[in-house]
Structure 1
């Protein structure tokens, strides 16, 4: 069986990774981009050829279904997201969707139809890499996505969410999609995106909780001035303010310790030229923890610290908290069952 799956992955992973491959390395497959659409269409074709019933939902989540013989109304769902970050790795997201399909294909060939319905899902989006919105795929599966929250948002190039969606053949729902009530279990295979298992010489682990996340976009406004004629004491330099915020916050995160993590991932100074004091800087913050109260306390203090630094430097600040997701513990029975299977 191991040889079978190794061969199957070696054949399918390069094929899927080639769609959206970036010449500079990795792959870029953003929500509702041409690369995203081609990937979903090609994956749909391959699943259909393997004997699964395939369909898209209204927002682009792709399903491959093998109907159960005794309990068809009860669904075991497995898969992952198909979108990527910019220059993403070929195991993030798509490996979980591929693995679910290959496992179901093997089970069908070996044992025939299952007692309960088993579905593979290739979710439309998880990363939030193109638009300032995350979990569009999974939120729509469970009726948690509000169409009004995305109706007017745009990507960095000014393309509207609705326009990008329509270009791929999908239409923004007028109201939240109804939550699926037939799903009895969901299991996802995912590459470790850190180094804990690897550092401990372990090949597999079972997740017992998903961290909570808070994401911000912060804008600092000072004053652009000539780099050669503006004395240091007269500057309202937003990059200087950002550097103080970044350095102080990261040190506090380190002092706080695991499992809290803090990332300043995107920084855009303006006018972004060599001989002008930057009068505006926009940056993002991503903070995560397994305890909702700790996450809230740390980020609220972070907000206060940023305001204090900006007040001291005569810099105005706008803080936009656009993602606030609570931690989620995993189902104890599933965790125990998966642990037994992995041991």
Structure 2
């Protein structure tokens, strides 16, 4: 079992990130915290202790989202929510998600130390899940908070071992309905600060990214069915080679993505070949497809290209099946918050860029539910979802400073 450092005595974003990274740390310096895994559970419990040590009222909700609250002295039922997600991809980086949670905790705590209880409630959230790395479902945590999912949906979602989301959730101690709050609370705003996961801020030498829009995402599972046969005795003209079909498809759709629009991205990230034997023609191939753009029209046009390829498979006496299991629409974030962030960056003397996010974030779920702000800090070389993910501590602190200013404006003024 990995050794975990004690919570650092002095509040520091860089020290806190190193501390939290010990939960789920991999051999090569990455982090793996899949939803409801042991490392995920230990990380959430560690965050609970951090929140308690810094004077928060703490609670878990039904699906394992963790909340640390500084109650408002004048409008306690008006919630300014800030945070990000605790889960990671397999062997991911230590900043993705974790930075947003810890920056929120630090910003809220520093304000509380200096000004006392806020007028409106500040609540820091460590969201259960965003990545979709274990189950074929993303934003489980934020969708629960915003009322977009039901516990019943967890029964049909299976991981690669056939374990259901419902089983995993209950094994981790969650998944049971709880009593509703007697008095209705309202989330008045959601604030998220995140590493960019791209290279634009670093290349432009900007300190802060102010996000106006988050791209839509569609994810598919594609299956190509041919016929397994002997590699030496089956003539090329008589083969039903599923891998050859899949390879031609991959080349076709990636070239079409470039042709359609420079901002459209299409990624085949996972391929499984069956029977995956050197001297046997592949009879089946399953692969993933991830497509992103900020305009629904382009997503629709590209989806037609994907589905039309079934006719090519049919002409080759093979079959292609397509399951679109994720369809997230592009989200335009609060113009008011964009303007507020610009003003605060200028007041702080930070250079900034106004930009579109090519990665998905919990902010896009909240963006359709309440006024939402998404702030970026630079990622070194644009590397993310990797142990090589890195942001300098000074840049991390600038994100905390902007978030602190936003929280003060929204919860204290």
TM bracket, shorter-chain basis: over 0.9
Q: Return the match for 1:291 from 291, 295, 304.
A: 295
Indicate whether 1:148 and 2:152 are aligned. Answer: yes
Q: Return the match for 1:46 from 50, 62, 67.
A: 50
Instruction: Look up the match of 2:138.
Output: 134
Instruction: Look up the match of 2:63.
Output: 59
Instruction: Look up the match of 1:184.
Output: 188
C-alpha displacement of 1:44? 0.5
Does the C-alpha gap of structure 1 residues 25 and 228 become closer, same or farther in structure 2, counting only changes over 3 Å?
farther
- Structure 2 CA distance, aligned partners of 1:276 and 1:249? 26
Q: Return the match for 2:230 from 221, 226, 229.
A: 226
Bigger RCO of structures 1 and 2 (CA < 8 A, at least 6 apart): 2
Kept in 2, the 8 Å contact 1:30–1:85? The answer is yes
C-alpha displacement of 1:230? 1.5
C-alpha displacement of 1:294? 1.9
C-alpha displacement of 1:103? 0.7
Kept in 2, the 8 Å contact 1:80–1:94? The answer is yes
The superposition leaves residues 296-333 of structure 1 with CA deviations (integer Å, 9 ceiling, x where unpaired) of 222122221x2133123221111111111111100110
Q: Which runs of 5+ in 2 are unaligned?
A: 1-9, 347-413
Indicate whether 1:235 and 2:239 are aligned. Answer: yes
- Structure 1 CA distance, aligned partners of 2:140 and 2:175? 14
Does the C-alpha gap of structure 1 residues 112 and 93 become closer, same or farther in structure 2, counting only changes over 3 Å?
same
- Structure 1 CA distance, aligned partners of 2:33 and 2:239? 41
Tell me the SS of whatever aligns to 1:80: strand
Indicate whether 1:337 and 2:333 are aligned. Answer: no
- Structure 1 CA distance, aligned partners of 2:175 and 2:258? 44
C-alpha displacement of 1:172? 5.3
- Structure 2 CA distance, aligned partners of 1:234 and 1:146? 49
The superposition leaves residues 185-236 of structure 1 with CA deviations (integer Å, 9 ceiling, x where unpaired) of 1110010111111221112111101111111111111111111222211111
- Structure 2 CA distance, aligned partners of 1:102 and 1:148? 35
Kept in 1, the 8 Å contact 2:78–2:185? The answer is no
Tell me the SS of whatever aligns to 1:68: coil
Kept in 2, the 8 Å contact 1:165–1:172? The answer is no
- Structure 1 CA distance, aligned partners of 2:270 and 2:65? 28
Tell me the SS of whatever aligns to 2:91: coil
Indicate whether 1:321 and 2:324 are aligned. Answer: yes
Aligned-residue CA RMSD in angstroms? 1.9
Instruction: Look up the match of 1:3.
Output: none
- Structure 2 CA distance, aligned partners of 1:307 and 1:328? 31
Q: Return the match for 1:22 from 20, 26, 33.
A: 26
- Structure 2 CA distance, aligned partners of 1:312 and 1:22? 46
Tell me the SS of whatever aligns to 1:23: coil
Kept in 1, the 8 Å contact 2:273–2:282? The answer is yes
Aligned residue pairs total: 335
Q: How does 1:1-343 map to 2 (within 5 A)?
A: 8-171=12-175, 173=177, 182-304=186-308, 306-343=309-346
Normalising by structure 1, we get a TM-score of: 0.93
- Structure 2 CA distance, aligned partners of 1:247 and 1:147? 40
Tell me the SS of whatever aligns to 1:92: coil
Kept in 1, the 8 Å contact 2:96–2:194? The answer is yes
- Structure 2 CA distance, aligned partners of 1:20 and 1:124? 15
- Structure 1 CA distance, aligned partners of 2:325 and 2:94? 28
Q: Which runs of 5+ in 1 are unaligned?
A: 1-5
Kept in 1, the 8 Å contact 2:242–2:285? The answer is yes
Tell me the SS of whatever aligns to 2:63: coil
C-alpha displacement of 1:7? 6.8
- Structure 2 CA distance, aligned partners of 1:64 and 1:313? 58
- Structure 2 CA distance, aligned partners of 1:260 and 1:118? 37
Does the C-alpha gap of structure 1 residues 181 and 287 become closer, same or farther in structure 2, counting only changes over 3 Å?
farther
Kept in 2, the 8 Å contact 1:133–1:150? The answer is no
The superposition leaves residues 134-188 of structure 1 with CA deviations (integer Å, 9 ceiling, x where unpaired) of 11101100110133332122111121211111110012559x99xx851111110
